[in-house]
């Protein structure tokens, strides 16, 4: 049993065809990598020289045993990625646990003046005028206004990114010529590289004056934040949607056209239904970015912590979960910082759940196109 385990580990790291030289090269690289990590944790001053030795030995081994060293490096990169995610997850939940244990459901409920809490949207008395929801100095730590603001901004962003992303993906995949497609698609993907603070600043400067003039409003609002974040999510929706539409077999569309259907009828009846799972995955990924967006929202909206009045007023504004963290953590006390970690846990769970859902939908689409489902 022990020999089988040792053989399995050796094949995973080095592959099946190994030599003593490749084992020595990989072993030396692994030893120096472990020494670098230990040195960084215990005596950081020695970490850089040991890391340099690791790079030298790895480069030397690459020149002689490239396949084995490459296999080892890919394994190391994978393990480090998984460990990094695991450590971040542990640190996030561990830092939020004290606030969970102290405040409990009070973090997501509406506080009452007698110190009790009640569920959100429980008759009209749930939202008393002037109620304090977030005031660390007085011990009020309800995140429900920020959760509501996050929901509103995300819905507006979805209303912008969903339709525009779908039609953009349809144009690139089904309508545009090859030359035009080679220009438009990279241009759309470049939008994803623009810093979010730039989106926020430009959106505030451009849309703020328009909202003030056209709607006689003060300016910064859920509407502006949602539109800007929706535009930021567009590259993801367009790119994933276009990939999904391009993966639909050409024979399906050709058969529809051969039967007399127009190009639009083919897209409507064949392309979109066949690629619907991939398009949905793109929208979900885009909304995941919208939920987790910070700087653009913080640059546009005020850091208020009260509900909009009325709740559906998209021209009102208050902090979202992300902008609350961005604006509060610098001067936060220890107890407030723990509550901000709770907000981070909420965002982490929501975005991670949406990512898993999008992967599941995309896997379902691939299976469907292969005739497996």
Q: DSSP assignment of 145-176, as one string?
A: HHHHHHHHHHHHHHHHHHHHHHHHHHIIIIIS
**CB neighbours of 292 closer than 8 A, spacing ≥ 6?**
322, 347, 351
Residue 275: name the closest of 198, 200, 165, 178 by CA: 165
pLDDT tens, position by position, 42-82: 888 888 989 999 999 989 888 888 888 888 888 888 888 99
The per-residue pLDDT for range 328-343, each reduced to its tens digit, is: 777 777 888 888 888 8
**203 phi/psi in degrees, rounded to 5:** -60, -40
Percent of the chain with pLDDT over 90: 3
- Find where tokens 């936060």 sit: 332
What is the rounded distance in angstroms from the CA atom of residue 251 to the CA atom of residue 266? 12
Average pLDDT, the chain: 78
| pLDDT tens column, 243-271 | 888 887 777 777 777 777 777 778 877 78
- Could you give the CA distance from residue 322 to residue 290 in angstroms, rounded to a whole number? 10
pLDDT of 99 strictly over 70 = yes
- The token pair at 271 is 């392309």
Phi-psi region of 15 (alpha: psi -120 to 50; beta: other; left: phi over 0): left
Percent of the chain past pLDDT 70, that is, above it, reads 82
203 or 4: whose pLDDT is higher?
203
Residue 120 pLDDT > 60: no
DSSP conformation letters of 36-90 = HHHHHHH-GGGHHHHHHHHHHHHHHHHHH-HHHHHHHHHHHHHHHHHHHHHHHHH
The pLDDT assigned to 87 comes to 92
């Amino acid at each position: 049993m022990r020999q089988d385990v040792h053989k399995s580990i050796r094949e995973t790291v080095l592959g099946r065809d190994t030599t003593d030289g490749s084992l020595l090269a990989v072993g030396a690289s692994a030893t120096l990598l472990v020494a670098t990590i230990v040195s960084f944790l215990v005596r950081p001053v020695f970490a850089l020289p040991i890391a340099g030795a690791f790079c030298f030995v790895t480069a030397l081994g690459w020149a002689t045993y490239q396949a084995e060293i490459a296999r080892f490096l890919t394994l190391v990169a994978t393990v480090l990625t998984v460990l990094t995610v695991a450590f971040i997850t542990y640190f996030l939940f561990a830092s939020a646990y004290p606030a969970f244990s102290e405040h409990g459901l009070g973090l997501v409920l509406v506080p009452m003046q007698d110190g009790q809490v009640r569920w959100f949207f429980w008759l009209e008395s749930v939202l008393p005028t002037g109620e304090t929801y977030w005031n660390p100095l007085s011990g009020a730590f309800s995140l429900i206004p920020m959760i509501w603001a996050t929901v509103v901004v995300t819905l507006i962003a979805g209303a912008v990114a969903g339709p525009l992303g779908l039609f953009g993906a349809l144009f690139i995949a089904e309508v545009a010529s090859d030359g035009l497609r080679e220009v438009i698609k990279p241009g759309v993907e470049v939008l994803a590289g623009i810093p979010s603070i730039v989106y926020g600043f430009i959106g505030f400067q451009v849309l703020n004056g328009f909202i003030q003039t056209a709607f006689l409003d003060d300016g910064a609002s859920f509407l502006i934040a949602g539109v800007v974040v929706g535009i930021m999510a567009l590259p993801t929706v367009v790119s994933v949607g276009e990939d999904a539409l391009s993966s639909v077999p050409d024979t399906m569309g050709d058969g529809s056209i051969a039967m007399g259907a127009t190009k639009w009828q083919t897209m409507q009846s064949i392309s979109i239904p066949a690629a619907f799972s991939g398009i949905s995955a793109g929208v979900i990924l885009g909304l995941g970015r919208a939920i987790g967006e910070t700087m653009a929202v913080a640059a546009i909206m005020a850091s208020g912590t009260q509900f909009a009045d009325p709740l559906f007023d998209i021209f009102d504004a208050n902090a979202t979960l992300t902008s609350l963290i961005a604006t509060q953590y610098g001067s936060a006390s220890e107890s407030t910082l723990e509550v901000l970690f709770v907000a981070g846990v909420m965002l982490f769970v929501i975005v991670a759940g949406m990512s898993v859902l999008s992967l599941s939908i995309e896997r379902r689409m691939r299976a469907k196109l292969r005739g497996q489902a």
